[in-house]
Chains A and B, each alone.
Chain A
């Protein structure tokens, strides 16, 4: 724990995130892992907005924001510049799921293909939250958002989450991982591993948004943990494109997770949508199968 505490002041209090904000915790943990010797290239988004209204920056390390979709390209330039100057700061991108899985894909693909020594962190809160909870490529199947609303002839987001880790692993990224703010030390260790691995690395950290998902602010970590315990989120690591480690769980039914969030309320009221719930359960089952996360009898956790 002492190790985690080090550098905690680098992301300072006074930022304007909602109480109970998952991404704010992700930012704090990120800087605990990187320490001071880092340059952050940020995408436009909730985190950027709540942490940097001029002149009140919450960032105690060098930080740059240019646009929504270009933080990986900006980081490419920073990395090239540092290399030319013989400087040793680590370069870390941070963007939300919209900036990462949707609008920023071109720049990220280019940066990963070129092999820059950067680490890209996607804080995944599963929709465009800053602008009012619109659907992104990371919004899970069945979730109601303001652009994939449930209605008479809609049962929420009709598409599954885009598999960004696999896309970036396919670019040849030496280290790709998923993490969750429910397991802070695991996330911190993954960031440390990523920034110390030469080449472009990617971490997608699950960071629930109480405002956008519709749950009480104190439940943020519980919700992140439930996502893992239901198999809807899997914490895993890929080295050179191969999954080498995935967190095992005694899985619980997805309903336990869905019922606690307003974005899935239409699946239970006014009438149960058994087929949609079953499809979401099937997604969890497929995750469990792909990553082998189910704890069999007499097998210990991890």
Chain B
């Protein structure tokens, strides 16, 4: 791709960087106990927690860095951090 004048770029390319590869722990969401408050999605620094059709939530593991903030804020303790097998 030719350089764009002035080190300028259109949006979208950050998604090429799959930060999920950084992860050591992965969040496991339990839809059964989820209260659907959405706090996990609101506070995710990656913006990679998505609402499902059922109104519960799931992480996009392509980008989830496994920081664990979602697990910490979940009022129902329905997200647990699990060491990831690689």
Contacts and interface: CB of A to CB of B under 8 A. Distances in A.
Partners in one complex: yes
A184 B60 contact: no
Contacts of A19: 22-23, 45, 65-68
B42 A60 contact: no
A13 B60 contact: yes
Nearest to B4: A55
B68 A217 contact: yes
Contacts of B9: 54-57
Contacts of B72: 218-219, 221-222
Contact of A13 (B14, B23, B51, B71): B14
Given A20-B65, A25-B69, A217-B65, 11 more contacts: A5-B42, A12-B15, A14-B13, A15-B14, A24-B46, A25-B45, A28-B47, A56-B14, A184-B42, A217-B68, A220-B67
B60 to A, nearest CB: 7
B47 A51 contact: no
State the main secondary structure of chain B at its contact with A: loop
B19 A221 contact: no
Interface residues of B, number: 39
A25 B7 CA distance: 25
Nearest to B7: A54
Interface string A1-44: 10011001101111111111110110010000000000000000
B43 interface: yes
Interface residues of A, number: 39
Given A19-B65, A57-B13, A5 B19 contact: no
Given A12-B12, A55-B13, A218 B19 contact: no
Contacts of B17: 14-16, 56
A246 B77 CA distance: 30
Contacts of A57: 9-14
Interface string B1-41: 10010010111111111110011000000000000011001
A1 B40 CA distance: 11
B14 A14 contact: yes
Given A14-B19, A16-B19, A221 B43 contact: yes
A17 B45 contact: yes
Contacts of B37: 1
Interface string A216-233: 111111100000000000
B13 to A, nearest CB: 4
A37 to B, nearest CB: 15
27 contacts: A1-B37, A4-B42, A5-B38, A5-B42, A8-B47, A13-B46, A13-B63, A14-B14, A14-B16, A19-B45, A20-B65, A24-B46, A28-B47, A51-B14, A55-B13, A56-B13, A57-B10, A57-B11, A57-B13, A60-B11, A184-B43, A185-B42, A217-B68, A217-B69, A218-B69, A218-B81, A221-B43
A217 B46 CA distance: 13
Interface string A54-90: 1111111000000000000000000000000000000
Contacts of B41: 5, 8
Given A218-B69, A218-B71, A1 B15 contact: no
Most chain A CB within a 10 A radius of its CB, from B15, B23, B51: B15
A5 B40 CA distance: 11
Interface string A243-257: 000000000000000
